[in-house]
Amino acid sequence: MTKPAVAKKAPKTKERVGGNTKADAVYNALVSAIVSRELTPGMKLSEETVAASFQINRVVVRAVLNRLHNDSLLELKPNRGAFVATPSPKQAREIFEARILLEREIAVRLAKTITRPQVEELKAHVRRQRERHQEHHDPDTLRLAEEFHLLVARLTDNEILLSMLTRLVSLSSLVPVSYTHLDVYKRQLCGLPRNSIFSSPA
């Protein structure tokens, strides 16, 4: 199989049994690859490929794959292996509905408290996203687009909201582009935080 994002080696980290630093680094790298759609729904992730790409042993690979499965990002199929999850149309709709409800509340909260430095931080992020888009670097453009929503959540200083949105962002990245009936939800998400926050008086 092709190895788009998996081929990128994770940064060298200490192999800890308790904290499992390396497993965390590999997990974060694979989630980032899913969000940027370098790993697409239905793609197989073999233990051999992940182990070789990140220079880790099979024990760490299995821990990472199980964690991704528990987060609904991977499907583990008996005698076949691990595959990037593909939500059903119903699941996809529910993911976007949950994101819209959550992000609407996040945007309203931040709009009430946002400061000028925070506005400038958000604008700088948008500029970076536009630059990568103009350079036709699609994975970075997609990643930065989703990170904008997470940045908005982080600026509310509410860890629970940020954690919930982080999970939903990862799940929404699994939704196939062929689900065109969900485009209305995607358009709402694109404009939701920006319209609320950049129109605030801060």
Sheet containing 81-84: which strands, arranged edge to edge?
A: 44-45, 81-84, 74-77
Residue 3 has pLDDT above 70, yes or no: no
What pLDDT band is residue 190 in, cutting at 50, 70 and 90?
Answer: low
The more confidently predicted of residues 199 and 175 is 175
Residue 116 has pLDDT above 50, yes or no: yes
What own/partner pairs with CB < 8 Å and gap ≥ 24 does 87-93 have? 87/41, 87/171, 87/174, 87/175, 89/179, 89/181, 92/172, 92/175, 92/176, 92/179, 92/182, 93/182, 93/185
pLDDT recorded at residue 94: 94
Q: Are 171 and 68 in contact (CB under 8 A)?
A: no
As given in the structure block, the two tokens for residue 129 are 């996203």
Count the helix, strand and coil residues of the chain and give each as a percent rounded to the nearest 5.
65, 5, 30
pLDDT recorded at residue 67: 95
End-to-end CA distance of the chain: 50
**What does the alpha-carbon distance between residue 4 and residue 46 come to, in Å, rounded to a whole number?**
13
Look at the domain 21-84 and name its fold: Arc Repressor Mutant, subunit A (1.10.10)
Neighbours of 137 (CB within 10 A): 14
Please give the average per-residue pLDDT across 151-173, as a whole number.
94
Q: Are 173 and 150 in contact (CB under 8 A)?
A: no
Angle between helices 58-70 and 47-54 (to 10 degrees): 110
pLDDT recorded at residue 191: 60
What integer best gives the mean pLDDT of the chain? 83
Residue 126 has pLDDT above 80, yes or no: yes
pLDDT recorded at residue 154: 96
Instruction: Give the residue extent of every domain in the chain.
Output: 21-84, 89-197
pLDDT tens digits along 38-59: 999 999 999 999 999 999 999 9
What pLDDT band is residue 201 in, cutting at 50, 70 and 90?
Answer: low
Q: Are 174 and 94 in contact (CB under 8 A)?
A: no
pLDDT tens digits along 46-104: 999 999 999 999 999 999 999 999 999 999 999 899 999 999 999 999 999 999 999 99
